Structure 1
Amino acid sequence: MVDADQTFVIVGAGLAGAKAAETLRAEGFTGRVILIGDERDHPYERPPLSKGFLLGKEERDSVFVHPAAWYAEHDIELHLGQPVVQLDRNTRTVALGDGTALRYDKLLLATGAEPRRLDIPGTGLAGVHHLRRLAHAERLRGVLASLGRDNGHLVIAGAGWIGLEVAAAARSYGAEVTVVEPEPTPLHTVLGPELGGVFAGLHREHGVRFRFGTRLTEITGQDGMVLAVRTDDGEEHPCHDVLAAIGAAPRTGLAEAAGLTVVDRAHGGGIAVDASLRTSDPDIFAAGDCAAADNPLLGTRLRVEHWANALNGGPTAARAMLGHQIAYDRVPYFFTDQYDLGMEFSGHAAPGSYDQVVCRGDVGKRQFIAFWLADGRVQAAMNVNVWDVTDQLQRLIGSRRTVDPERLADPAVPLTSFLE
């Protein structure tokens, strides 16, 4: 039985929003819970969009957070296909695109992020793609299958996680792939020059062509269809389709218009929140891709765009909305699967923040653990085709202990010895 005296509104029906709604009910909240999403699909998880679903290994229904009937069964009021166009903090209301106004007692912004657009001629041609939403993945899956059948060619702008995962999927279908990246290695701003080459070698072995140190300047076409791309080194690359995978921008427009504090883009962007995911308005919280949170464990403000952040951030925000004394102090985590390489990454090591990279295992065979160290403390760790070590790695990062790099590099020294 819903008690209408209190209304909690969640803007953003992705993983963070859905898990927040689930947590509110699990914690015994009996007020109204309203979940608003601008997509018509029920809340879903995004990793399969560039992994199993895109590869054709997972069915569409497997991506959803809950069965469709779950929301009504738990008295969650769903407003799908409805953007929120205004947040009025004075009246404590949000306005939907159809003119509906909804009052809140507590509000959670889980608005996510949107793909950055290429600012070059030709982006309006058919055959230019982005990958962020389920509809994008459905379309791209068909495109990759068609390219594979017809020996077609895909150009990907950006060698980040999405770009590389789509490259691997495209090659699995048999499509030709060229990746254009302005940095000297893939994942340069994440893994640095030390380990980006591991992924370059992996993809080259599977037939992917890289053009490092260059960027797209134009997409050319005929009759509205893509024919080629041009790069700033003067080259032209014939192709049939183009994927823009140059990163994502947090969706902060609603928060900015309402006067909430937002982090400058140069520092990662996002809605500024404290350790309990509370914004500059005490009754408004933010979680997921759109939130830049003070992490008390790492001692810095971070905006993290990965699955685990939405999975865990939504429930933390929900408990904070209920008045629990709680801090979001998890070690950041994400994973990828490309060809026969499986990888998990824990922690945060921004360029310039570390002074040493230490590896244990066989990098050449792509079976190793890499550690990013600053002043002898592990800032981040990446396990490649080495399993069941994530908990130990996260504990090591969280401990902030000084370690001996030589012992850390020695596979004969148990990881648990650094935690004793």
Structure 2
Amino acid sequence: MKNGVVIVGAGHAGVQAAASLREEGYDGPVVLVGDEAELPYHKPPLSKTFIKDAEAKPQPLRGEAFYSGHEIDFRPGTEVRGIDIPGRRLELAAGGTLSFDRLILATGSRPRTLPLPGADLAGVVSLRSVADARLIRELSGKAEDAVIIGGGFIGLEIAATLRAAGRNVTVIEAADRVLGRAVAPVIAAHVHRRLEEIGVRVLTGTTVSRLEGEGGHVAGAVLPSGERIPARLVVIGIGVVPNVELAAAAGLAVGNGIRVDAQMRTSVPEVLAVGDAVNYRHWFTGGDVRLESVQNATDQARLAARTILGHEEAYSAVPWFWSDIGDMKLQMVGLALGGDRHVVAGDAADNKFSVYHFAGDRLIAIESVNRPADHMLGRKMLGAGFSPADSLVTAGPDALKAALAAFQQGTAAAAG
């Protein structure tokens, strides 16, 4: 393949795809295209350690020498305007084209916008990139009052970080609870309560009518009730939308993401897609999903590289996620969609507990607060297809480990 593989998107998925191609023995050209001028960096710290430390710098995914040392042609600050599928080339915004034999789209997602009067005022931001994080860090240093619109992971991580820095923080969530799409009600209620205990005001079932400004800078958020909440910093965190525009314009199949098969191939087999922008039929749930996590992005990227090298295995990684909100490390493994009951292990009063989700007798997900051992064991149980009895869950990790080991021995004996 004289033109080799071109990867569009230099986030976690794109960088892993380039690395995995070399690890799998691919010796053709590899071009990694990113629209930011920065060396590719870890994104999870941006909503936490980065914005609270004025001296913090982006944490690179790989050192600069990695790209040259592995003959990966990294092209930062390069925007792709279009994909010419028949011609096998990219049209670049700055002019010119870039030819490919295989293409991997790792275009990611972007923050959902909020059509709100005053949303264009200075001091109103969303978090997508390190440039956004730098702006939030700069603004928070001058703002005593901050409003976070959206009670998802990003919004709550920022809220806890700003509150720890002494800011007056209000979270406004339109749904009837925070983390509504992400975790069980018992965990959402726990997070809500602990945030309020450290002084974060959390308003659920509430929207913002408009943002008011002074001198072109945001000064407050007005609720439907007429209450005005002071705010020199407003962070909008109401979810993300997948970046599918390039794929859709090129005629690739899309639907809540770029549609791919089990080997990460799009509707045009020479074009693959991975990461936050991808919608696929999940092996565990049987339903179509689009997952936004570093784990999903990197595991899909590894598989896409193997697909290009001629392998045909299907994507079967166990999904897992995490979030750090104040003194709570939340870790989730599996997908709780379709669950009809749950079992709680540990004690919320100790800020250490887990929720085991079942569909009938089948374990489908575990959500943990400050119980990392439960999370790691959960990844092993779901990967092995082991579903423990309720009594084992409440008996504790040692009983679960022993039961899992016995299950795995029995499975190996049956296979042998």
Following superposition, the deviation at residue 417 of structure 1 comes to: 4.2
Amino acid at match of 1:291: V
2:177 to 166, 172, 185: 185
Pairs within 5 Å for 1:227-246:
227-246=219-238
CA distance in 2, matches of 1:104, 1:86: 13
158-167 or 194-203, which deviates more: 194-203
Pairs within 5 Å for 1:143-222:
143-147=139-143, 152-222=144-214
Q: Is contact 1:396-1:418 (8 Å) kept?
A: no
Q: Is contact 2:54-2:137 (8 Å) kept?
A: no
CA distance in 2, matches of 1:418, 1:379: 17
Q: Is contact 2:140-2:233 (8 Å) kept?
A: no
Amino acid at match of 1:59: A
Q: Is contact 2:2-2:101 (8 Å) kept?
A: no
Following superposition, the deviation at residue 256 of structure 1 comes to: 0.6
Following superposition, the deviation at residue 192 of structure 1 comes to: 3.5
285-294 or 306-315, which deviates more: 306-315
The equivalent of 1:255 in structure 2 is 247
Following superposition, the deviation at residue 248 of structure 1 comes to: 0.6
Following superposition, the deviation at residue 399 of structure 1 comes to: 4.3
Pairing 1:44–2:29 present: no
Amino acid at match of 1:8: V
CA distance in 2, matches of 1:87, 1:99: 13
Pairing 1:368–2:353 present: yes
The equivalent of 1:266 in structure 2 is none
Provide Cα deviations, 1:355-414, integer angstroms capped at 9, x if missing partner. Answer: 112110112211111112111212210121112333320232344445433432333762
The equivalent of 1:393 in structure 2 is 378
Structure 2 gap segments, 5+ residues each = 408-416
Give the ranges of 4+ consecutive aligned residues of structure 1 lying more than 4 Å apart after TM superposition: 399-402
The equivalent of 1:291 in structure 2 is 278
- Say which SS state the counterpart of residue 354 (structure 2) adopts: strand
Following superposition, the deviation at residue 91 of structure 1 comes to: 0.8
The equivalent of 2:64 in structure 1 is 68
Pairing 1:17–2:14 present: yes
Q: Is contact 2:354-2:374 (8 Å) kept?
A: no
Pairing 1:82–2:53 present: no
1:407 to 392, 396, 402: 392
The equivalent of 2:414 in structure 1 is none
Q: Is contact 2:30-2:72 (8 Å) kept?
A: yes
Amino acid at match of 2:60: F
- Say which SS state the counterpart of residue 353 (structure 2) adopts: strand
- Say which SS state the counterpart of residue 367 (structure 2) adopts: strand
User: Under a length normalisation based on structure 2, what TM-score does the superposition of the two structures give?
Assistant: 0.93
CA distance in 2, matches of 1:6, 1:86: 18
The equivalent of 1:314 in structure 2 is 301
Q: Is contact 1:24-1:319 (8 Å) kept?
A: yes
CA distance in 2, matches of 1:391, 1:174: 34
User: Under a length normalisation based on structure 1, what TM-score does the superposition of the two structures give?
Assistant: 0.92
321-330 or 6-15, which deviates more: 321-330
Following superposition, the deviation at residue 345 of structure 1 comes to: 0.8
2:96 to 81, 93, 100: 100
211-220 or 110-119, which deviates more: 211-220
The equivalent of 1:343 in structure 2 is 330
CA distance in 1, matches of 2:333, 2:248: 31
CA distance in 1, matches of 2:335, 2:126: 26
The equivalent of 1:121 in structure 2 is 117
The equivalent of 2:411 in structure 1 is none
CA distance in 1, matches of 2:298, 2:359: 29
CA distance in 1, matches of 2:123, 2:318: 38
120-129 or 391-400, which deviates more: 391-400
CA distance in 2, matches of 1:372, 1:57: 40
CA distance in 2, matches of 1:355, 1:233: 37
Q: Is contact 1:44-1:65 (8 Å) kept?
A: yes
- Say which SS state the counterpart of residue 349 (structure 1) adopts: coil
- Say which SS state the counterpart of residue 372 (structure 2) adopts: coil
The count of corresponding residues between Structure 1 and Structure 2 is 405
CA distance in 2, matches of 1:312, 1:108: 14
Q: Is contact 1:297-1:398 (8 Å) kept?
A: no
CA distance in 1, matches of 2:24, 2:316: 20
Seen in structure 2, the aligned counterparts of structure 1 residues 386 and 194 have a Cα distance that, compared at 3 Å, is: closer
68-77 or 7-16, which deviates more: 68-77
134-143 or 296-305, which deviates more: 296-305
